[in-house]
Chains A and B, each alone.
Chain A
Amino acid sequence: MDNELSALVVIFTEFYYWITVVIMFLIHVGFCMYEVGVSRRKNHLHTLMKNTMLIPLITVTFFFFGWWIYFAFPNGPFLNNAGLQLEGGGLIPSPSAVPWSELMGVHMGGAANQAALTVDDTSFWARINGVFWAAFLLFSWTTGSIVSGAVIERIRSGAFWMLAVTLGSVLWILDASWGWHWDGWMVHKLGYHDAYASGVVHAIAGGFALAILIVLGPRIGKFRADGTAREIRPNNPWLVSIGLFLIFTGFWGFYAACNIPIIDFYGPDMLDIEGSFFTATNIYLSPTSLSGITFNFLMSLAGGLMAGYFISKGDPFWTYSGGLAGLITASAGNDLYHPIQAMIIAMFGVVVIYKMHYWVENKFKIDDAVGAVAVHGYAGFLGVVIAGFMLWGYPASPFLEVTINPVGNFIGAIIMFFVLGFIPGLILAKILNAMGILRIPHDVELAGLDIDYMIEDEKAGADFHNATVDAAKKADLL
């Protein structure tokens, strides 16, 4: 920060991530609107609060241990990956990310009081740690919100919040450490590539949600005696659509936050060769551009909307969901695809996940209230697999010989959806169910989660009505 140019780069980067956080807030406004709109009126307020309270809970736990997980675990569960940050395998010391670090607060970048921190640590992280933490935090909230929609109207809030913290502050950030980190073992060993988090956010959340849905069971009345599904229509389809539209809006922040905005590709922190070349990069430090991903974001959204409208014959819920699913399908490779490739990939993804949603619902009697497993889980999985083919042979990192390939990305998708998503979700849901704290009581589900509000509304309404009548009588109006 001792010359204008480097100070500008630092402050620009700090501001860039800050803005992405603000924009990503809209994702959560959208999720709240969308879930409340899908749920029946008798469950509105609990649905809203279930989604709202994951925000502070994931925030504090992400501060306590989530951020540390990202930096500590790139070597994988038990591998020595001979990476750039080789520390003999195992956990990587991450003194800037532990909750008691002085860098987890306001810091001017000067010498550290804590012995574990170096001059390089403080000068680099002082103005980036908070905003980078926050950008990742918003991704954490997103994983929790994805699950939240699938399980509405019958999950206990307390159980949901424990599940959300596990996914948002442990599992997804662990998968990011492995496969969404410039030095993650999945990049080194598999050539895993997932630029805008099809697998690391969406597939893992979808897999986790599917496991919970299996244990939780369907809403009362969802399936007839003969096993066919009843359609439980959204109580407010307009609110659902606008909620999804807000999620699209917030997704812009998500895409921008997945990039490193500016870095000298030839500089000492990168290739360390003669000359300078400033560019944006993806999280793997491979080059891309904000302009390029803007083309791809819009074309994959457009493809998804068109395919969603087509496959559902104009149903608003599936059209908007298709836009999102299309975007998610193309996201794994949207740092590099041609825009028309992104559009076609998005369209293909939407057709597949729409069919899969109904096949799974009918075959396995899975009640996914908002299609979250399809829109996020299947689309995310498919997106990672497609990227393995489309980007076959591209370098997985500018520092490594390993290339992107279909096998590596397929294994990566399995790790995301099943190993870190489905299996832990199943284990946790079964534990919570065995403790009797996963599902709400049968009678409360029939009456509605908001029964306490409804009773209070009636009492307060009657009380106020009586007071008004008394006042009117005193005023000789009655």
Chain B
Amino acid sequence: MTTGVETFGDGTLHQMGAIYPFVGTEGLLVIVGVIIWIGWHVWELKNEAREYDVEKDGLKDKAHNVEIFKWDLSKKF
């Protein structure tokens, strides 16, 4: 039983093609990969919208905002 190649030692290496596991599932892998890629974008759009909402709510506190707008970027680096 093997997920891919049984032996490299029988002198047929020069005739071998793909040697990754589960040759023949490339199409399925592409479908899964594309779903993951697009799903990541969908998640990101929802996540950043949620973060902006939280940040906007936080910025309603003007007393707190005084400190934020004092933040001097040059002091950080």
Contacts and interface: CB of A to CB of B under 8 A. Distances in A.
A298 to B, nearest CB: 13
B40 A336 contact: no
A403 B2 CA distance: 9
Interface string B25-52: 1100110110010001001100110010
Most-contacted residue by chain B among A287, A336, A394 (CB, 10 A): A394
A223 to B, nearest CB: 27
B14 A277 contact: yes
A273 B51 CA distance: 64
Given A341-B20, A341-B21, A341-B29, A273 B11 contact: yes
Interface string A125-157: 000000000000000000000000000000000
B2 A271 contact: no
Contacts of B76: 236
Interface in A376-426: 390-395, 398-399, 403
Contacts, number: 85
B77 to A, nearest CB: 6
B20 A336 contact: yes
Interface residues of B, number: 31
Given A275-B14, A338-B22, A399-B9, A394 B36 contact: no
B3 A271 contact: no
Interface string A269-281: 0010111010100
A440 B77 CA distance: 28
Most-contacted residue by chain A among B19, B20, B30, B44 (CB, 10 A): B20
B7 interface: yes
B5 interface: yes
A392 B2 contact: yes
A248 interface: no
A313 B47 contact: yes
A36 to B, nearest CB: 13
B14 A393 contact: no
Contacts of B21: 336-338, 341, 390-391, 394
Contacts of B77: 236, 238
Given A292-B20, A344-B32, A347-B36, 8 more contacts: A266-B11, A271-B11, A309-B44, A314-B47, A338-B22, A338-B25, A341-B22, A394-B2
10 contacts: A236-B76, A265-B13, A314-B51, A340-B33, A341-B21, A347-B36, A392-B1, A395-B7, A395-B8, A398-B9
Return the 10 tightest CB-CB contacts between A and B, nearest first: A393-B2, A340-B29, A338-B20, A398-B8, A398-B9, A277-B14, A340-B33, A273-B11, A393-B1, A392-B3
